[in-house]
Amino acid sequence: MAKLILHPGKERSLLRRHPWIFAGAVERLVGRARAGDTVEVFAADERPLGRAAWSPQSQIRARMWSFDANETIDDAFFKRRVAAAVARRNGLPELQGQDGVRLLHGETDGLPGVVADRYGDTLVLQLTAVGADRWRRAIVGALLAATGCSHLYERSDADVRRLEGLQPEVGWRVGGPGEGETPALVINENGVRMHVDVVGGHKTGFYLDQRDNRWRVRALSDGRSVLNCFCYTGGFSLQALAGGASRVLSIDSSGPALATAAANLALNPQLEAARAEWREADVFSELRQLKAAGERFDLIILDPPKFAPSAAHAERAARAYKDINLQGFRLLAPGGLLMSYSCSGGISAELFRKVVADAAIDAGRSARIVEHLAAAPDHPVGLAFPEGEYLKGLLCQVD
Ligand code: SAH
């Protein structure tokens, strides 16, 4: 095994259990290692720090598999890590009975570059780092053993793979539909049925991280008129209807997403379909048109796509967040609620709060934060690894 030696002082973040070794921290590699190989990591004073996956093309030059210098990285290692992550989910009461659960959340489950979601009997695996890619077979085997699932689709098509020198890898690895069939996957989320398209949908097919926040919307919707912006396949919209909303207007610029949203509504005959309206439009201009038309809403949800994938985009993204939040505040009825999210890695929670506060002031509304909203608990945030946190939300109320 090759040895990775760090520059003096660069062991500090590892001792705090942060799993990334950046290119600038590496003093030298002793021996040969190919991309994805396991290397032994040492501080400059030769103190052993653990074992990592070597990624020569990435600025994140290595990712720690283990902080135990004696732990062998083999099939049994992945079996242990995967089983422990699945057991953690099984121990969370709020996940009991859910069809859609994230089982592996990368670094925060000790598995850098590995995401796995379970939708009923189907697993979706996403590998985003070269070390994870190397151990595909072991990870697939460990997931099947830990869950007993009969289908596994690999959805390793995230852009970040390019930074690791990896091509997209997609396809059924276990089970899957027969020739010419499309998988008709439907999950039940807190009593609402939803189609999940693991092949063509966003992420691994669905936004599982918003599960608890959709549930929150349900609790807030009774008798309220709701505007759901960037509705995608209607997750928030359907929970709002389930919660007794008087009207739910949902906006998205994607025709296919809205078609799935309408199909999702049709899957739920218990909901009052006549109260739902789907509108294909650009949210930025539609919010202005709604204002011009004198519309008002009691609850507005803003869950836009990632405007700032990295800090380099932060300024332009902040302007976009400011704009939709400003228009949102303007459309709120007295006492109305704004539920506003950012999933941008490049926008800190502090900056997001400032942008939303500025938007309220510019809209001339007196508002307060009544709740901070985060991703569901199957998307845990590592305390030593806050990079795992991308979803941040604020629930604001105006006078
Ligand atoms: N809230 C959703 C996820 C939102 S994903 C859920 O909980 O499932 C972001 C959505 O924004 C996508 O469906 C995309 O089509 C849509 N979108 C992106 N830019 C847009 C724009 N300018 N106007 C309207 N919709 C937009």
What pLDDT score does 183 carry? 64
Q: How many domains does the chain have?
A: 3
d(CA 353, CA 347): 10
d(CA 365, CA 337): 12
Q: Quick check: 99 and 188 in contact, CB under 8 A?
A: yes
Q: 177: which 2 tokens?
A: 């539909």
Residues 57 and 95 in one domain: no
- Strand 151-156 to 169-174 pairing: antiparallel
* Residue ranges around ligand 1 (CB below 6 Å): 207, 210, 230-233, 235-236, 251-254, 257, 282-284, 303-305
Residues 215 and 346 in one domain: yes
CATH assignment of the domain containing 216: 3.40.50.150
d(CA 351, CA 144): 41
Q: Measuring CA to CA, how many Å separate 328 from each of 19, 233, 265?
A: 39, 21, 25
- Quick one: average pLDDT of 60-89? 98
Best residue for ligand 1 mutational test, from 203, 232, 289 (most atoms within 8 Å of Cβ): 232
Work out the pLDDT band at 176, boundaries 50, 70, 90.
confident
Percentage of the chain modeled with pLDDT above 70: 98
Residues 52 and 175 in one domain: no
- Quick one: average pLDDT of 41-59? 98
- Quick one: average pLDDT of 233-247? 98
Shortest-distance atom of ligand 1 to CA 233: 8
Residues 79 and 59 in one domain: no
Does residue 189 fall inside a structural domain? no
d(CA 158, CA 203): 8
Residues 296 and 148 in one domain: no
* Residue 365 CA neighbour count, 13 Å, CB half: 27
Does residue 58 fall inside a structural domain? yes
State yes or no: pLDDT of 218 exceeds 70. yes
Q: Quick check: 385 and 19 in contact, CB under 8 A?
A: yes
Residues 31 and 79 in one domain: no
What is the pTM assigned to this prediction?
Answer: 0.95
Structural domain for 87, as ranges: 75-183
Does residue 202 fall inside a structural domain? no
Residues 350 and 380 in one domain: yes
- Amino acid 241 reads L
